[in-house]
Structures are given as structure tokens and as C-alpha cells.
């Protein structure tokens, strides 16, 4: 049957506060209330909301914790006489962050990584993740969540890739939008970030993204447009980098596209230390300077006041900036029902949701000879990855202090590198979870530090599972896609000693696999979250059939990337924390344009190691009866899916369309869960926002025949059809 993978997990969160349109009022009512509040504000109060600082003591910029702050990343003092609450802004792409234990003992549920959530291809599960995040933020008294990552993965080596849902604008937009909506359903304000093309950390505060404007609108900006349309975030965070010569915080994209074409009514804030001017930024559409201590000066303080006094920036713009902030607080329920510290958290329910998300997000990349699931009896050697302690998480501003405490921590390198790339393990232990899930098997663990010892142990075991890890963190890219710490050699040695070897990857990006032909199975677990080990155990045991689909392409080599060498990389500029001495500015030329990821592989006629959308199950499916039709300006594709295996499993048929002369784009998908022998017709409505193309600043449907294919990945078109030109001409021009 056609089902959502989320099942009943949403019920655990839905008991919390939800946005009630009738209690908050119509859009007109919200605007009227906001305008009335702004009219009562003094000029000092109007400027008070426009500039925010860091909410905790920070020795990097020599500041103390502000009075009244709850110790969050951002703090803007409220205006009690008007009922405007202080803004307590917490980092929170994958859980309420507490990097460096700034709030001692404050723990949160660690969500699976953005890649894992994207790999579910299930917006309802993404919404559930957002609800967990919003509920916990609210319980802690935080009213703004700096989450909603909607930037495309253009650079496979990017340090923050683990926070993003993937490389495709439709997938990223839908997943991110659903997370935003889930977060705001708990009456907290959410952001989406970082607009735009902030796709690598190296030199992020000085780099200039050079990209064709039309291609930008078809790719990175399209992802943001969909996320904003579906999630309606209270705020948008502008990025550090330049775009075609303009700082993101001074870009014409803010006023002309986001607020103009898209009609966005919330507020746009800067990233911390990303504001570079007063009037130019305000007039471009920036509404709030964040983390002003990291800026050259507090631009939205005295300099902006002087610009208003001189007539350079109109008073009406200042009023609009305040109106956008206040209306967003009203619209999300924060104004009328501000969160307060000390709320209750249903830890068990939230952990169960993370486990369900991870189960749906684990991707079985390879499974030769049915090596997985494991049999009921035998001996299994678990190797490496601290699988006797926990599972790896991502670092930087997304770093959560997990419920249950940090199981293990390990620094990599020295100085700023060590701070940026510290490896934090969540207390979900594979050795314990596997033993509990599969009591008929005997498990042993070897840390992999002694190759001779581990190969001897592997020879004696019936099966071997190597846990391979690679840290990822904000501010730090990887110069390559290799597994660190000699793990490639470890995997090769174990595989040579045991022909039934599985590799479990806990990584924040794709990695190269020189050992791929030597192992039987490969599992992408990503950074698996609060109950990652339990989710892995369910998959490896066969209790749950894997259903995740990779939201990124896995390169076979660096040479096939649009930029084989990471732009700007050197050991001196590999870490960019937007403080202290910055590297020299440099350009990054995105010559692939809108052909990101799998579209680049098609355009360059190359084949990746694993294509976007790929993922195996423990069953086999047959596709048949492809039909393509237009109905009221919409493209609809139907296909019959049959489970021809012996296990219940979920297939994810994906629809790709190509305009004349263009590469194929993902235009829709469905999750189809079928019992053995069952078949069902899936009807997939193509998203018109990704069918349109942009030329010379205008959207259009290219005249001609459109190629359509359906398959289990971007690299496996099982059934193909053609939408003839006269039918394509009937499609409605939907754009973002």
C-alpha cells in the first residue's frame, strides 16, 4: 500500500502546542497588530530589535554573558512595555545545540543528520524531526531556532554537508520546509539558512560565488524558494560569502527576489559576523544584524541611525524591519505565548522518533550475495569506529550535548582545527544494540588499532562489520574524500581475512571506497542520532528492511567533480571561524550552473560510484505500466510497482524529467510499502516548480518534447516515456 514512512511517530509530538490560525488571526490581522505595536515604539526601541549579540560568554571576542540571556547563540533584549519578548536564538539544525557545554548540563535529543533525514525521502518524518526540535527549544525557553538548512550540497567535501538534506532542490526544499513547519508548530520561530551558495567552509567569510544568475535561480535559490513556500519560516539567515561580487547581506536577491518576487513577509537576519555595512545592507533587505561582536562595528547601531538622520536610509525602512520581526513573532505564537524555561520534555517519545527517522534514512549501498541481513546464529566481529561506546555526530554550531551524556570525545589536530573538528559520540552503542537485537549471535569487538590482531579475530568470525567514521564540522572542510585514520587499510585487511565483511559508514559526506570490490555490503548510516545504534541493529537483523535513498551522488574519484581541487584550500585557511585574521578573498566559479550533483554526472557523461536516489532493500521490485498525462496544467505520472520478493519492503519510485537540451531533474517521488507479492499503482504528481527553466531573467517552459523516466535512482531509468510538445505546452508555468 502507499503509505508515509512516518507511521504514528508524529503523534508523540503533536500533543504539544500547535499553531492555531483561528487564535492567531488572519494575515491581515497579524499585520494590523504588528503595525500598531511598531507605531508605539520609540526610536531607541526600534533600533533595539535590529542588532543582536552573542548570548553567552565568548572569549574569542572578549564578551561576557548578557544579563537576561539564557546562554544561547544569539540574544536580543525585548521590550516588556509592549509585550515584545527577548529573543533567545538557539542553534538547532539537528537538535537544540549546546556546543562546548556553554549551558552546563543542558542536554537535548540528537537528531539524525540532515543527510539521514533527506535520505528518508519523507517530508512527514522531516516534520516530526522539526517538531522534536521545536518542542525541546520551547521547553528550554528558547523562542528562535536557527535551523532549517536549505543549502544544496554542491561541494562534496563541505564541512556542513551533514546538516543539509541533499543535492537536489526539490528534495532539499520539501524536507527543509517540512522541518521548518514542524518546528514552528511548537510555537517557536524558525529560520532557514544560509542564503545563498554557502556550500563550502573554506574561506566562507571572504569567498565570492561566481554563478550564472539564471542557473542560481534554478538550483540553490529554487531550494530556498520551495523551503520558504512550504515551511513559511519566521526568518531567513543570509550567508557569509559574496554572490557575484555582492555580500549575501547586501545582495539584490534579498529585496528583489525573496521579498519582491516571492512575497516573503518575515525578517532576514545576517549570519554571525556577516554584516559589512549599515545603509547598503538595510536597503538591500537585511532586517537584523546578528552577532554584531563579530562585525567590524555594530553597523545597525550608530551607523544606521546616522544614515537615517542623513536621509540615506528612510525611516519607513526602519519601521518595516521592525514590522517584519514583530509580525513573525505574532504569526508563530511567540508574542502571545512566549516559551519559558523549565518545560517538560518527553525524552522517550523523542528518542523513538529519531530511531524511526534513522531506520528510514539508512541507505544500503551494496549487498552482494545477500550478506545482509545477518543470520540468526553465528559469530560477528565488530571493528573500529568506537562501536563499543557510541555513534558519531556532526560538529560546530549543530553540536548537541546528547541526552545521556557524551559517550566519547576525541580531538583531531591542534588549535582551531581541534576545536572545529572535535569528534563527539552519542551514547547509542552498536555493540550493545546488536547484542540485544540479535541474541542468537555472538558479538565481539576490536578497536582496530592492531591490524595483525584484528585480522586474526576476523578470520575466526563468521561475519565482520567495520564501523568507519569521518568527522564533519562547521568551519572545516575536508581537502579530500578519503576515510581518515588509516581506515581504508583497516577495511581492506578485515575484508581479506573475512569474505563476509560489511562496512558501516558514519560520515557527514560521501567518501571514496578503494576497498568496495573486497567487501560484501556497505551501509550509509550517516550521523545516526540519539538511537542510531538501535536503528542500525533493526536493519542489520532484518527486522526492518532498509528503505533509505542516498540524497547525494557518491563520486568514484575527485577528478570527476566540477572542481577536483577544493577552491581556496590550504592548511592556513582550512578553518574559517569568521574571527581574527581572515584569508585573502578568492572567487569560486560554479561552472556547472544548475547542473548540481546527479545532473552534473549526466551533463559530463560520467558515472558515479553510487547515483543520487540509490538504495537497496531486502526485496525485489518490478516496475510496469508507465503512463504520463497532463491534468489541469499539472504533469502526473503513474507506474505500477510489484514486490517480487519474500519480505515486506518499501520502494521509492522517482520521476525525472528533461526539457529539450537540458539534463534530467527530479520532479517527484513516492514511498511505496508492499507486502510480498503485492502490487500497487503509484500516482506521482510532478512538481511544476522544477519543470520550468530560466533564460535571460525570465521563467519559461522550453518548447518541445520532454523526456520522462521512472526508476529507483537517477542512474537507473527503468521505464521511459516522452511528453510530446503539444502536451507539454499545456503545463502551467509554476516558478520559484
**Contact assessment for residue 553 and residue 512, using Cβ atoms and an 8 Å cutoff:** no
Ranking 8-22, 106-120, 282-296, 378-392 by mean pLDDT, the lowest is 8-22
Domain-located, residue 578: no
Is residue 17's pLDDT more than 90?
Answer: no
pLDDT at 7: 46
Coil/strand/helix, residue 354: helix
Which of 91-95, 569-573, 724-728: highest mean pLDDT?
91-95
Both 635 and 499 in a single domain? no
pLDDT at 302: 98
Q: How confident is the model at residue 5 (pLDDT cuts 50, 70, 90)?
A: very low
Which of 140-154, 567-581, 720-734: highest mean pLDDT?
140-154
| Residue finishing a domain among 541, 565, 585 | 541
Domain-located, residue 551: no
Both 282 and 359 in a single domain? no
Q: How confident is the model at residue 391 (pLDDT cuts 50, 70, 90)?
A: very high
pLDDT at 201: 93
**Contact assessment for residue 667 and residue 654, using Cβ atoms and an 8 Å cutoff:** no
Domain-located, residue 206: yes
- At 262-293, the pLDDT tens digits run 999 999 999 999 999 999 999 999 999 999 99
Q: Give phi and psi for 410, each to the nearest 5.
A: -150, 125
Q: What is the full DSSP assignment across 147-203?
A: --B------TT-TTGGGS--S-HHHHHHHHHHHHHHHHTTS-EEEEEEETT----TT
Residues 114-127, mean pLDDT to the nearest whole number: 99
Determine whether 168 is an active site residue: no
Residue in 91, 122, 220, 271 annotated catalytic: 271
Both 294 and 387 in a single domain? no
**Contact assessment for residue 508 and residue 527, using Cβ atoms and an 8 Å cutoff:** yes
pLDDT at 21: 38
User: Which position has the higher pLDDT, 420 or 331?
Assistant: 331
The domain total for the chain is: 3
Domain-located, residue 347: no
pLDDT at 2: 29
Residues 98-108, mean pLDDT to the nearest whole number: 92
Coil/strand/helix, residue 270: strand
Mean pLDDT of the chain: 93
**Which CATH number fits the domain that encloses residue 410?**
3.40.50.1700
Residues 654-669, mean pLDDT to the nearest whole number: 96
Q: Residue 612 and residue 666: Cα distance in Å, rounded?
A: 10
Q: How confident is the model at residue 572 (pLDDT cuts 50, 70, 90)?
A: low
Task: List the domain range (segments joined by +) for residue 356.
Answer: 352-541
Q: How confident is the model at residue 20 (pLDDT cuts 50, 70, 90)?
A: very low
Is residue 462's pLDDT more than 90?
Answer: yes
Both 227 and 144 in a single domain? yes
**Which CATH number fits the domain that encloses residue 147?**
3.20.20.300
Residues 117-134, mean pLDDT to the nearest whole number: 98
Is residue 580's pLDDT more than 60?
Answer: no
Both 638 and 502 in a single domain? no
Is residue 615's pLDDT more than 70?
Answer: yes
Coil/strand/helix, residue 243: strand
Q: How confident is the model at residue 578 (pLDDT cuts 50, 70, 90)?
A: low
Instruction: Put residue 101 in one of left, alpha, beta given phi > 0 → left and psi -120 to 50 → alpha.
Output: left
pLDDT at 475: 87
Strands 87-91 and 74-76, how do they pair?
A: antiparallel
Q: Residue 225 and residue 192: Cα distance in Å, rounded?
A: 10
Both 203 and 297 in a single domain? yes
Q: Residue 401 and residue 83: Cα distance in Å, rounded?
A: 32
Domain-located, residue 381: yes
Q: Which residues of 416-426 are buried (b: 16+ CB within 10 A; e: fewer)?
A: bbebbbbbbbb
Is residue 132's pLDDT more than 80?
Answer: yes
Three cell numbers, residue 542: 532484518
Domain-located, residue 345: no
CA angle 672, 674, 680 (to 5 degrees): 70
Both 430 and 467 in a single domain? yes
Residues 365-387, mean pLDDT to the nearest whole number: 97
Domain-located, residue 13: no
Q: Give phi and psi for 564, each to the nearest 5.
A: -60, -30
Q: What is the full DSSP assignment across 545-598?
A: ------SS-B-S-GGGSSSSS-TT--TTTSB--SSSSPPPPEEEE-TTTT--TH
Q: Which of 134, 120, 174 is nearest to 4 (CA)?
A: 120
Q: How confident is the model at residue 220 (pLDDT cuts 50, 70, 90)?
A: very high
| Residue finishing a domain among 480, 507, 541 | 541
Is residue 469's pLDDT more than 90?
Answer: yes
Residues 228-246, mean pLDDT to the nearest whole number: 98
Both 166 and 277 in a single domain? yes
pLDDT at 730: 77
Rounded to the nearest 5 percent, the helix, strand and coil shares of the chain are 30, 20, 45
Residues 373-393, mean pLDDT to the nearest whole number: 98
Both 310 and 380 in a single domain? no
pLDDT at 128: 98
Q: Give phi and psi for 384, each to the nearest 5.
A: 70, -175
Is residue 574's pLDDT more than 80?
Answer: no
DSSP 259: I
Is residue 92's pLDDT more than 60?
Answer: yes
pLDDT at 275: 98
Both 363 and 294 in a single domain? no
Query: Which helix or strand (DSSP H or E) is residue 261 part of?
Result: none
- At 690-727, the pLDDT tens digits run 989 999 999 999 999 999 999 999 999 998 999 888 88
Both 634 and 524 in a single domain? no
**Which CATH number fits the domain that encloses residue 713?**
2.60.40.10
pLDDT at 25: 72
Q: Residue 51 and residue 125: Cα distance in Å, rounded?
A: 35
Domain-located, residue 723: yes
Is residue 576's pLDDT more than 70?
Answer: no
- At 47-68, the pLDDT tens digits run 999 999 999 987 776 888 999 9
**Contact assessment for residue 546 and residue 618, using Cβ atoms and an 8 Å cutoff:** yes
Q: What residues are paired with 243 via a beta bridge?
A: 209, 246
| Residue finishing a domain among 266, 297, 331 | 331
Q: How confident is the model at residue 1 (pLDDT cuts 50, 70, 90)?
A: very low
**Contact assessment for residue 553 and residue 613, using Cβ atoms and an 8 Å cutoff:** no
Percentage of residues of the chain with pLDDT beyond 70 = 93
Is residue 15's pLDDT more than 60?
Answer: no
Torsion of CA 194, 199, 203, 208, to 10 degrees: -80
Coil/strand/helix, residue 673: strand
Q: How confident is the model at residue 736 (pLDDT cuts 50, 70, 90)?
A: low
Amino acid at each position: 500500500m502507499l503509505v508515509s514512512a512516518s507511521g504514528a511517530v508524529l503523534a508523540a509530538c503533536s500533543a504539544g502546542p500547535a499553531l492555531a490560525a483561528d487564535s492567531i488571526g488572519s494575515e491581515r490581522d497579524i499585520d494590523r497588530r504588528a503595525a500598531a505595536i511598531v507605531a508605539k515604539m520609540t526610536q531607541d526601541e526600534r533600533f533595539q530589535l535590529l542588532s543582536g549579540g552573542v548570548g553567552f560568554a565568548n572569549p574569542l571576542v572578549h564578551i561576557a554573558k548578557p544579563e537576561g540571556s539564557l546562554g544561547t547563540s544569539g540574544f536580543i533584549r525585548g521590550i516588556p512595555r509592549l509585550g515584545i519578548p527577548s529573543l533567545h536564538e538557539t542553534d538547532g539544525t539537528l537538535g537544540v545545540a549546546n556546543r562546548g557545554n556553554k549551558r552546563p548540563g543542558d542536554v537535548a535529543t540528537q537528531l539524525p543528520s540532515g543527510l539521514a533525514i533527506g535520505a528518508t525521502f519523507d517530508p512527514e518524518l522531516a516534520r516530526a524531526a522539526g517538531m522534536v526540535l521545536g518542542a525541546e527549544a520551547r521547553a528550554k525557553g528558547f523562542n528562535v531556532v536557527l535551523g532549517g538548512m536549505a543549502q544544496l550540497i554542491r561541494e562534496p567535501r563541505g564541512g556542513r554537508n551533514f546538516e543539509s538534506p541533499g543535492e537536489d532542490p526539490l528534495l532539499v526544499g520539501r524536507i527543509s520546509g517540512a522541518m521548518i513547519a514542524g518546528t514552528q508548530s511548537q510555537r517557536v520561530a524558525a529560520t532557514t539558512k544560509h542564503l545563498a551558495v554557502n556550500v563550502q567552509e573554506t574561506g566562507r567569510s571572504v569567498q565570492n560565488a561566481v554563478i550564472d544568475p539564471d542557473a542560481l535561480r534554478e538550483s540553490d535559490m529554487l531550494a530556498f524558494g520551495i523551503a520558504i513556500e512550504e515551511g513559511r519560516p519566521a526568518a531567513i539567515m543570509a550567508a557569509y560569502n559574496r554572490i557575484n561580487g555582492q555580500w549575501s547581506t547586501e545582495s539584490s536577491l534579498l529585496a528583489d527576489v525573496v521579498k519582491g518576487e516571492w512575497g516573503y513577509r518575515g525578517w532576514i537576519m545576517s549570519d554571525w559576523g556577516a554584516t559589512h555595512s549599515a545603509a547598503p545592507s538595510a536597503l538591500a533587505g537585511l532586517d537584523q544584524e546578528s552577532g554584531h561582536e563579530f562585525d567590524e562595528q555594530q553597523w545597525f547601531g550608530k551607523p544606521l541611525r546616522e544614515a537615517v538622520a542623513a536621509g540615506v536610509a528612510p525611516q519607513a525602512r526602519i519601521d518595516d524591519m521592525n514590522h517584519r520581526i514583530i509580525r513573525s513573532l505574532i504569526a508563530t505564537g511567540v508574542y502571545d505565548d512566549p516559551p519559558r524555561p523549565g518545560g517538560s520534555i518527553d525524552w522517550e517519545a523523542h528518542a523513538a522518533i529519531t530511531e524511526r527517522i534513522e531506520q528510514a534514512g539508512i541507505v544500503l549501498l551494496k549487498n552482494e550475495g545477500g550478506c545482509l541481513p545477518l543470520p540468526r546464529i553465528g559469530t560477528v566481529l565488530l571493528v573500529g569506529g568506537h562501536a563499543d561506546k557510541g555513534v558519531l555526530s556532526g560538529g560546530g554550531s549543530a553540536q548537541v550535548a546528547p541526552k545521556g551524556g557524551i559517550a566519547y570525545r576525541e580531538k583531531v589536530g591542534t588549535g582551531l582545527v581541534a576545536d572545529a573538528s572535535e569528534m563527539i559520540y552519542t551514547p547509542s552503542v552498536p555493540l550493545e544494540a546488536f547484542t540485544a537485537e540479535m541474541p542468537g549471535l555472538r558479538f565481539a569487538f576490536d578497536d582496530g588499532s592492531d591490524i595483525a590482531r584484528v585480522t586474526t579475530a576476523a578470520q575466526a568470525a563468521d561475519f565482520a562489520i567495520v564501523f568507519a567514521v569521518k568527522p564533519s564540522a562547521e568551519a572545516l572542510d575536508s581537502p579530500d574524500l578519503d576515510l581518515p585514520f588509516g581506515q581504508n587499510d583497516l577495511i581492506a585487511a578485515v575484508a581479506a581475512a573475512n569474505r563476509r565483511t560489511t562496512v558501516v559508514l558514519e560520515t557527514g559526506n560521501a567518501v571514496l571506497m578503494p576497498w568496495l570490490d573486497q567487501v560484501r555490503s556497505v551501509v550509509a548510516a550517516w550521523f545516526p542520532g540519539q538511537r542510531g545504534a538501535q536503528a542500525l541493529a533493526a536493519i542489520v537483523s532484518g527486522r526492518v528492511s532498509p528503505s533509505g535513498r542516498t540524497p547525494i551522488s557518491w563520486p568514484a574519484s575527485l577528478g570527476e567533480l566540477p572542481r577536483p581541487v577544493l577552491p581556496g584550500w590550504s592548511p592556513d585557511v582550512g578553518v574559517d571561524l569568521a574571527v581574527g585574521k581572515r584569508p585573502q578573498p578568492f572567487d569560486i566559479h560554479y561552472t556547472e550552473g544548475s547542473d548540481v550533483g546527479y545532473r552534473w554526472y549526466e551533463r559530463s557523461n560520467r558515472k558515479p560510484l553510487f547515483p543520487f536516489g540509490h538504495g537497496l532493500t531486502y526485496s525485489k521490485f518490478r516496475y510496469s505500466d508507465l503512463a504520463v498525462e497532463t491534468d489541469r496544467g499539472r504533469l502526473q505520472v503513474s507506474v505500477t510497482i510489484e514486490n517480487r520478493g519474500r519480505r515486506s519492503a518499501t520502494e521509492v519510485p522517482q520521476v525525472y524529467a528533461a526539457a529539450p537540451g537540458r539534463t534530467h531533474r527530479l520532479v517527484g517521488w513516492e514511498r511505496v510499502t508492499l507486502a510480498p507479492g503485492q502490487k500497487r499503482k503509484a500516482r506521482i504528481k510532478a512538481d511544476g516548480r522544477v519543470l520550468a527553466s530560466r533564460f535571460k531573467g525570465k521563467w519559461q517552459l522550453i518548447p518541445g518534447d520532454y523526456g520522462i523516466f521512472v526508476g529507483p535512482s537517477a542512474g537507473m531509468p527503468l521505464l521511459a516515456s516522452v511528453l510530446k510538445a503539444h502536451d507539454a505546452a499545456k503545463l502551467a508555468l509554476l516558478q520559484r
